[in-house]
């Protein structure tokens, strides 16, 4: 049970809370009454505002509609007046533009084209709205006249500003073809920038509005002439430079513009000069001597002329590619896209035909040279053919999109050159084999024959053109000729493309064939000499010349591709000829050889027969020595090393034999006049042999 005091406190607490709740309830009721009053007032205000808006709307809408109608009427009037002004303006176009059209577009192309646009619009208006109007004829005539003036201006600009590219710039362009820097606008400025922009605007107008394509013919005719003249100028430059200085021009430009990057010198193609310089080195080392005759025209002395013509043509080929590329870049700006390939094809025809004709002339000259056995002229085909093959990818790229007949010109020339080159190689090998043995053409001193030097020189050229010469042989399917099987892996999909290894083997086999033919011919020629010793010296000199020439060049490595023992074989031939030569001294040494000497007892008086025999031995030796020394002094061994070797070997043999003979019989009283028979001391005999093969002694 709750105590009374706690119950009383509890009651008071509840009464206080009840009182608070009643006060709160009273406050809420009062707030609700005020809120209802405010709501009634707001509804009353909004109702009044709505009533006023309705009255305003009823007053404004009629005014707005009336204003809108007035604005529409005003716009119609303005449009009508504008149309009238526009129509009337067409009737004044002829009079407003006639003076401008008459004076032409020179110097004010933009204004002129603006006038032509007005005339064009007038023509279109009258054609659509008043086809029978006399004004139509006026503006039509004016339009045609203006178009003719634009065509004339196009021709004039192209003619006046198209200049021949100077040889110096062309050579600079060729020499810089490997440079990394490339100007965006191209290396050549065929037309000044302002003129080019005018030409482009005129061409676009003629295509779009003039419906005219004649200007394209004008363009390609003018540019074709400049391209052709540029190439001819380059060729003439080579001729003049050669005649004045003796060497072709090197594109080192003395007066270049400051903004022109320095170009490296043009790398000249390998020609016959390299091999001839090498042979001159052989001559300095005693490999070359007096040459005999041959029905092969000598290769020396013609390199300058051949080099100039060859270099000129090669540079013209490179120049054509570069100039044609530049022309196409220019053409793309001027000629519409769908006419570019055809126009470019026409543009390059004259220059390309000139190059191809000159190439065919070179082929024709080579054929004639083959007939007269002038193989030095044929050598010009090699650097040209190599350059054409190297340039062919660029050619193909430049000629992309041209007619098939245009694209096939270079491959046709390459085929012709390969054919004549292969013919030259085969004929040269045959001529080496069949060169006649003419006694009056043989070197009297047994030195190197001209046939040998010519053959080595010709083969030396092939080192610079191994791939070219190998391709020549391969293109004529000479694998069967040389019994070299054609491995499918050694050929590509193209019938004229062979692996470098296969071409190298073909060329190696060919060189071995030429050397074999040369050796057979030299053997035949050596029989012309009546003296076997001179024949041996002749063969020795030629074999030694061939071996040294092979060793001092890469020919020996090329020969070794198919003939591993070639070097050893030549050394054996050389040693064999030395032994044959040494046998010529047997008729001298046999007189004093111990096996042929009389036998006698020391201190015993010689019999007359024995004394006479000793006298005959001394006399035979003396006469034989003098005769051989007199004869062989006029012979030649150009190789100093070989000459000293042969002299020393012979001197050792003769001195040893003569020394023994002299020691044995020099003090024997076989005669009352010993000085008559003992004419030479051992040292004198050695000195006489040291003067062999020396015409100056």
CA pair distance 487, 505, nearest whole angstrom: 12
Across 56-70, 268-282, 670-684, which has the greatest mean pLDDT? Answer: 670-684
pLDDT, tens only, 102-158: 888 888 889 988 888 888 888 888 888 878 788 888 888 888 899 899 999 999 999
- Phi and psi at residue 498, in whole multiples of 5°? -120, 160
Using the Cα atoms of residue 440, residue 444, residue 446 and residue 451 in order, give the sign of their dihedral: negative
CA pair distance 555, 566, nearest whole angstrom: 11
pLDDT, tens only, 528-580: 999 999 999 999 999 999 999 999 988 999 999 999 999 999 999 999 999 99
Query: Residues 206-222: what's their mean pLDDT?
Result: 86
- pLDDT for the residue numbered 492: 42
The pLDDT confidence band at residue 69, using thresholds 50, 70 and 90, is confident
pLDDT of 526 higher than 90: yes
The pLDDT confidence band at residue 351, using thresholds 50, 70 and 90, is very high
- pLDDT for the residue numbered 270: 42
- pLDDT for the residue numbered 116: 87
154 touches 206 (CB < 8 A): yes
Q: Which of 141, 119, 116, 124 is nearest to 206 (CA)?
A: 116
- pLDDT for the residue numbered 74: 72
Full-model pTM = 0.72
pLDDT, tens only, 240-268: 877 665 444 444 333 333 333 333 334 44
CA pair distance 40, 85, nearest whole angstrom: 67
What percentage of residues in the chain have a pLDDT greater than 70? 82
pLDDT, tens only, 382-412: 999 999 999 999 999 999 989 999 999 999 9
Residues 6+ apart with CB under 8 A from 636: 289, 290, 443, 445, 446, 447, 537, 541, 693, 695
- Phi and psi at residue 672, in whole multiples of 5°? -80, -20
Q: Which of 528, 533, 522, 545 is nearest to 650 (CA)?
A: 533
352 touches 406 (CB < 8 A): yes
pLDDT, tens only, 5-23: 888 888 888 988 888 988 8
**Separation in Å, CA 59 to CA 47, 56, 71:** 19, 5, 20
pLDDT of 281 higher than 90: no
Across 186-200, 239-253, 298-312, which has the greatest mean pLDDT? Answer: 186-200
Residues 6+ apart with CB under 8 A from 380: 271, 306, 309, 310, 362, 366
CA angle (654, 656, 657) in 5-degree steps:
65
Per-residue DSSP letters for 353-377?
HHHHHHHHHHHHHHHHHHHTT-HHH
Structure tokens at 61: 């809408």
β-strand partners of 498: 491
636 touches 290 (CB < 8 A): yes
Using the Cα atoms of residue 608, residue 613, residue 619 and residue 622 in order, give the sign of their dihedral: negative
**Separation in Å, CA 221 to CA 48, 164, 344, 497, 527:** 92, 14, 10, 38, 67
């Amino acid at each position: 049970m709750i105590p009374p005091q706690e119950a009383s406190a509890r009651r008071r607490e509840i009464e206080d809370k009840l009182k608070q709740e009643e006060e709160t309830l009273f406050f809420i009721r009062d707030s609700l009454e005020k809120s209802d009053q405010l709501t009634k007032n707001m509804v009353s205000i909004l109702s009044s505002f709505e009533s006023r808006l309705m009255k305003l709307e009823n007053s404004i809408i009629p005014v707005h509609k009336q204003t809108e109608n007035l604005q529409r009427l005003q716009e119609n009037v303005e449009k009508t007046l504008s149309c009238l002004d526009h129509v009337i303006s067409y009737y004044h176009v002829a009079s407003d533009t006639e003076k401008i059209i008459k004076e032409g577009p020179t110097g004010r192309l933009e204004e002129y084209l603006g006038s032509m646009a007005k005339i064009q619009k007038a023509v279109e208006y009258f054609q659509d709205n008043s086809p029978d109007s006399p004004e139509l004829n006026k503006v039509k005539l004016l339009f045609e006249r203006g178009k003719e003036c634009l065509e004339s201006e196009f021709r004039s600009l192209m003619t006046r500003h198209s200049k021949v590219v100077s040889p110096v710039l062309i050579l600079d362009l060729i020499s810089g073809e490997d440079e990394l820097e490339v100007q965006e606008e191209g290396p050549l400025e065929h037309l000044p920038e302002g003129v080019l922009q005018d030409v482009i605007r005129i061409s676009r107008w003629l295509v779009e509005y003039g419906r005219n394509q004649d200007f394209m013919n004008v363009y390609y005719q003018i540019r074709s002439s400049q391209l052709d003249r540029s190439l001819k100028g380059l060729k003439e430059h080579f001729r003049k430079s050669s005649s004045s200085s003796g060497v072709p021009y090197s594109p080192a430009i003395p007066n270049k513009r400051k903004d022109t990057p320095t170009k490296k010198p043009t790398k000249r193609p390998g020609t016959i000069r390299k091999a001839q310089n090498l042979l001159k080195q052989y001559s300095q080392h005693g490999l070359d001597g007096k040459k005999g005759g041959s029905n092969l025209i000598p290769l020396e002395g013609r390199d300058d002329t051949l080099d100039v013509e060859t270099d000129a043509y090669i540079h013209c080929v490179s120049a054509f590619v570069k100039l044609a590329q530049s022309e196409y870049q220019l053409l793309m700006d001027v000629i519409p896209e769908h006419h570019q390939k055809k126009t470019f094809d026409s543009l390059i025809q004259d220059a390309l035909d000139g190059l191809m004709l000159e190439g065919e002339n070179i082929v024709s000259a080579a054929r004639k040279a083959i007939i007269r056995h002038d193989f030095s002229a044929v050598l010009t085909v090699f650097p040209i053919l190599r350059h054409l093959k190297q340039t062919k990818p660029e050619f193909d790229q430049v000629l992309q999109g041209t007619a098939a007949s245009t694209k096939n010109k270079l491959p046709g020339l390459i085929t012709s050159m390969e054919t004549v080159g292969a013919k030259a190689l085969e004929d040269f090998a045959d001529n080496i084999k069949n060169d006649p043995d003419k006694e009056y053409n043989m070197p009297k001193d047994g030195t190197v024959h001209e046939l040998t030097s010519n053959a080595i020189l010709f083969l030396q050229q092939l080192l610079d053109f191994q791939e070219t010469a190998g391709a020549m042989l391969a293109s004529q399917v000479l694998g069967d000729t040389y019994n070299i099987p054609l491995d499918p892996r050694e050929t590509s999909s193209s019938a004229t493309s062979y692996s470098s290894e296969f071409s190298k083997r073909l060329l190696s086999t060919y060189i071995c064939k030429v050397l074999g033919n040369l050796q057979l011919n030299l053997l035949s020629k050596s029989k012309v000499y009546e003296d076997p010793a001179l024949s041996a010296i002749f063969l020795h000199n030629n074999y030694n010349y061939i071996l040294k020439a092979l060793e001092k060049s890469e020919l020996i490595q090329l020969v070794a591709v198919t003939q591993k023992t070639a070097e050893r074989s030549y050394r054996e031939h050389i040693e064999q000829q030395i032994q044959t030569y040494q046998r010529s001294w047997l008729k001298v040494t046999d007189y004093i050889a111990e096996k042929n000497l009389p036998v006698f007892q020391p201190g015993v008086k010689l019999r007359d027969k024995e004394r006479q025999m000793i006298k005959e031995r001394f006399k035979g030796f003396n006469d034989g020595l003098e005769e051989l020394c007199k004869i062989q002094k006029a012979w030649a061994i150009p190789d100093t090393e070989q000459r000293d070797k042969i002299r020393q070997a012979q001197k050792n043999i003769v001195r040893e034999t003569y020394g023994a003979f002299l020691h044995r019989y020099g003090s024997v009283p076989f005669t009352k006049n010993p000085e008559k028979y003992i004419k030479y001391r051992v040292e004198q005999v050695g000195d006489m042999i040291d003067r062999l093969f020396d015409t100056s002694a």
